[in-house]
Amino acid sequence: MPDLHESQRDTVRIIMAMIMIKLASLAFIHAVVGGSILEQLSTKWDSVYYVGIAQNGYSAGSVTANYAFAPGYPSLIWLASLAVGNDLLSAAIVSNVFSVLAVLAFYRLSRMYFGPLGSLCASLAFGFFPTFVTYGLVSYSEPVYLFFAILAVYFFLNARYFYTGVTSSLAVLSGYASLLSPLSSCRSSS
């Protein structure tokens, strides 16, 4: 079990590093693309579908049917929009918060295998990976899925099977692709 103060310091370091990379990325997007950063983050690619589901639910029978998108992330957007009052801002907030939470969960998982410095470096490498940075900024479901999937592995490895089931279910609700990726870190009995 890691030293509590050490874990708290690393948690603060990770959060600060994630905020810095997000601010730098936002500044870059604004410098290159211009216009509203919120629109750039919440109205591109699949983000339109997620925000649309949060606003209007699923639409059956349309040419652009949106039921291919799992309901977990749009539900979180909807809940956040109750407090924030803006669906686009809510989508960006949910993605960004869960991307930080995913890195913190990864840190917790990596502490099972590495010391403090190794865990911190691995977590920052994960958090700064360009694809992860992009998915954490753009309003996508991947940060939500990764957070719950990483927690599921963590709980599984700690033999907390009820929590494994809950977090696995939440991962599936956040991304259907997770149905294809079973826990691959099962411990062998030999």
For 78-127, the pLDDT digits (tens) are 999 999 888 888 888 898 899 999 999 999 999 999 988 898 889 888 98
For 178-190, the pLDDT digits (tens) are 554 554 444 444 4
For 25-35, the pLDDT digits (tens) are 777 766 776 76
Residue 115, sorted as left (phi over 0), alpha (psi -120 to 50) or beta, turns out to be: beta
This prediction has a pTM of: 0.81
Structure tokens at 177: 């692709």
Cβ-contact 105, 149 below 8 angstroms? no
Q: What CA–CA distances, in Å, run from 183 to 103, 105, 132?
A: 19, 16, 21
